[in-house]
Structure 1
Amino acid sequence: MLLLYNSAIQLYGLIIKIFSLFNNKAKLFVQGRKNIFKKIQEKVDPVRSSIWFHFASLGEFEQGRPLLEKIKSTYPHKQIVITFFSPSGYEIRKNYALANGVFYLPLDTPSNAKQLIAAINPEIAVFTKYEYWYHYFEALHKSGIPLYIISGIFRPNQIFFKWYGSFNRKILSFVTHFFVQNEESKQLLSQINLQNVSISGDTRFDRVAENAESPKEFETIRKFCGNTNTLIAGSTWPADERLLAELINSNPDWKFIIAPHEIDKSHIDEIVKLIPNAVKYSALTDQPSDTQTLIIDNIGLLSSIYQYGKMAYIGGGFGVGIHNTLEAAAYGIPVIFGPKYDKFQEAKDLISINAAISINSAQELTSAFNKFATHKTAGIEAKNYVNSKTGSTDQIIKYIAQNF
């Protein structure tokens, strides 16, 4: 099985190189890893031990960020090293001020794992929610370096819990301690004889609650909204945007802000075709606007834009899965999303307290919109839910600080 895994990693690297010839994200993936160990050498002192945080992408970074910042504020002398797998995380956070170095994670090979650990000299490693790499985990284990999974969540249909998942279970066996989001995850790990587990919840709650307390202000967006009720559509994809276009046409007394997941020119142009009277954020002035729809064609704004909304639509539910519902809920606004939310405990929880609705069609979107437009307490329930789930970061740092 290890031979098959190694072959898959090599094949993946080859495919990405081919795609990099015509795909910008793949190009960033490949170019960012060129001379990676030289880049690390230039920024990281291998004599000093470091705390290594790895994130798959931007969402996981925001999830693990409260712990990272808590460690840095408590232990300011600690050297922080961050790695990302995806360009969408690295390209946005490559200049993150609290890290001594931010890098792409080299592909998971025995030599890369050995070389990376020697280069950054971690005293602990923290992986957030996803990504289980055999060689990195094994190298940490053999070196006696504690490895923590935070905000972990497991489901019965994952390969770890299948009869043919012995290789994947071995990867989990290298983890020092799992901090999981719920009881189900703890029970599933117990079934495969992993007892080094604590239920600590999700560190994202700490992050979104903190962000909602002191969001960035955007005067042009505030003036765009004025005194008009506004729906914020975050991390949308084309399937979401087609439904939203119908909703916009049917509700001229509301304003809408669409922040798509991808902001390349071709995608923005497609949204403009759907909603011809929309204005782009890059062209927005600070004068009050009677335009109904604003398209956010910049990155890094969404988590603060929710402060201007009365309702939120979260994209991704007609694709691989919904994006972050908690950023919106933290501001005390109800959320609507598509049908693929089963991997997200918070989405299920928000539905159970009537602070969220899942929809499958334009008709259902209209019905959910009308319900939340008149439901005065749904947003309050959403905010109370977020605030009730904070505290994960303090629980985790109390446990891992024994290694400092």
Structure 2
Amino acid sequence: MSRWLYSLAWWLALPLVFGRLWWRGRKEPGYRAHWAERLGFPDAAAATRMTLWVHAVSVGETRASEPLVEALLSSYPDARILLTHMTPTGRATGKSLFGHHGERLVQSYLPYDTGFMVGRFLRRFQPCVCILMETEVWPNLVHSCARSGVPVALVNARLSERSLRRGRKMGALMSDAARAIPLVAAQTDADAARIRSLGAPQVEVTGSIKFDVVPPQAALEKGAWLRARFGNRPVFLCASTREGEEALVLDAWLRVADRPRGALLVIVPRHPQRFDEVEKLITARGLSVQRRSRLDAGVGDADVLLGDSMGEMFAYYAACDCAFIGGSLMPLGGQNLIEACALGKPVLVGEHTFNFAQATEEAVAIGAALRVPGADALVAAALRLLEDEGARAAMGAHALAFAGRHRGATLRTVELLRRLLR
């Protein structure tokens, strides 16, 4: 596919794209705001100082970018960060994490990937570097940056076999983009090999920046607040669950007659637009539910706590006894288990973890995580852990050791970026 056809497809699709934004805005109003930014007309002030551009598409990438953004602000005291996103939840997360930096960090949506829109965006901000987080490679963006003399770096990069196959189907469109990226900092050797196969000229293995994320003190305090409202009940957390998984877990939970006395199931869906849907799944099974947004005096006798809040995942991990990492019971690739490990929590995962394959395999091998074949095995394993304090302590110690072993990716990445900027 040529870039010309690719750009034409974008222009033809724009009415459908904006229709979809409006439709999604029914449940998540943020999708109906800042549309001009998506067309290359940013609201943020134009460049008046050295601008380091970091693109973090949504919540996960934004949270992962925290150590890097903080390190860049410290390393370049006269610079500002331009942080771009594609989703309102990512934008809200960025504001929560970095709002205290004031004018040193500005936010915008990334314009859609047409040369015209991206070019206008570049002329407005005049960044000295474009830093893409994890998997965000846009052909026209990369081409426009190269034409404008803005070096592009893909950092904390990961590429699964499935994504590699999709990339190869795009032919020269993706390989040309890969060859135009002068620096890739990959999470693992396997990620690096797959990215090199697309034609990227310089790929270094730096590890995952996510290991350098430090649990904020405020999140730990919020976790203690939550735990106090849970009382002495054993707590099983299902974190970042995806569509279809909640029903599997709830049905498996109900099939167990001899659960530990007072065991509390906490479900935190990954996408906020599904909070009401998940509440209906819970009540349809005859279970009582308490929503986090209405949690004041305590959880009471509720069977399930629905985590209907954003930006509190560290707090949920801090408050639980063991945690399942969502997206892994179904073939969705799984989510990041590093935050749970950093807090010394026993981790359970399903069979589908291809998005974080190496980290998950290492966590399982070291005894920090346990892989289960399905929902019934998941609930059975969780209930065993809730009743076995010694097993929880052992897994928790392994989790802390696993998280500590892999720290340092941020410093390695910043040094590579320093060379690129030089």
Q: What TM-score does the superposition give when structure 1 sets the normalisation length?
A: 0.89
State the match for 1:49 in structure 2.
Answer: 50
Say if 2:283 is the partner of 1:270: no
Say if 2:296 is the partner of 1:294: no
Equivalent residue for 1:341, pick from 327, 350, 353: 353
Equivalent residue for 1:310, pick from 321, 333, 347: 321
- State the Cα distance separating 1:384 from its structure 2 match: 0.9
**Structure 1: runs of 5+ lacking an equivalent:** none
Tell me: CA distance 1:367–1:105, structure 2 relative to 1, closer, same or farther (3 Å).
same
Equivalent residue for 2:173, pick from 158, 163, 167: 167
Please show how residues 176-325 of structure 1 align to structure 2 within 5 Å.
176-207=182-213, 210-211=214-215, 215-218=219-222, 220-249=225-254, 250=256, 251-253=259-261, 254-264=263-273, 266-273=276-283, 274=285, 276-287=287-298, 289-317=300-328, 318=330, 320-325=332-337
Larger deviation, residues 7-16 vs 66-75: 7-16
Tell me: CA distance 1:36–1:163, structure 2 relative to 1, closer, same or farther (3 Å).
closer
Asked whether the equivalents of residues 189 and 205 of structure 2 are also in contact (C-alpha less than 8 Å), the reply is: yes
Asked whether the equivalents of residues 53 and 82 of structure 2 are also in contact (C-alpha less than 8 Å), the reply is: yes
**Structure 2: runs of 5+ lacking an equivalent:** none
Tell me: CA distance 1:11–1:211, structure 2 relative to 1, closer, same or farther (3 Å).
farther
- For residue 193 of structure 2, give the secondary structure of its aligned residue in structure 1: helix
- State the Cα distance separating 1:179 from its structure 2 match: 0.3
Equivalent residue for 1:381, pick from 398, 405, 411: 398
Larger deviation, residues 282-291 vs 22-31: 22-31
Tell me: CA distance 1:369–1:16, structure 2 relative to 1, closer, same or farther (3 Å).
same
Asked whether the equivalents of residues 159 and 168 of structure 1 are also in contact (C-alpha less than 8 Å), the reply is: no
Asked whether the equivalents of residues 178 and 198 of structure 2 are also in contact (C-alpha less than 8 Å), the reply is: no
- For residue 34 of structure 1, give the secondary structure of its aligned residue in structure 2: helix
- State the Cα distance separating 1:172 from its structure 2 match: 0.7
Tell me: CA distance 1:65–1:175, structure 2 relative to 1, closer, same or farther (3 Å).
same
Find the aligned partners of 2:91 and 2:350 in 1 and give their Cα distance: 28
Tell me: CA distance 1:6–1:326, structure 2 relative to 1, closer, same or farther (3 Å).
same
Deviations 1:171-229 (A, max 9, x none): 0111121100111233334445544111100101101xx11777341254122232332
Find the aligned partners of 1:278 and 1:222 in 2 and give their Cα distance: 17
Aligned residues: 401
Equivalent residue for 2:414, pick from 390, 397, 400: 397
Find the aligned partners of 2:385 and 2:135 in 1 and give their Cα distance: 33
- Identical residues among aligned pairs (%): 21
**Structure whose residues are more often helix by fraction:** 2
Deviations 1:303-331 (A, max 9, x none): 22201222101222225232221111111
Please provide the CA RMSD for this pair.
Answer: 2.7
- For residue 125 of structure 1, give the secondary structure of its aligned residue in structure 2: strand
Equivalent residue for 2:380, pick from 367, 370, 375: 367
Q: What TM-score does the superposition give when structure 2 sets the normalisation length?
A: 0.86
Please show how residues 59-208 of structure 1 align to structure 2 within 5 Å.
59-94=60-95, 96-97=98-99, 98=101, 99-157=104-162, 158-159=164-165, 162=168, 165-207=171-213
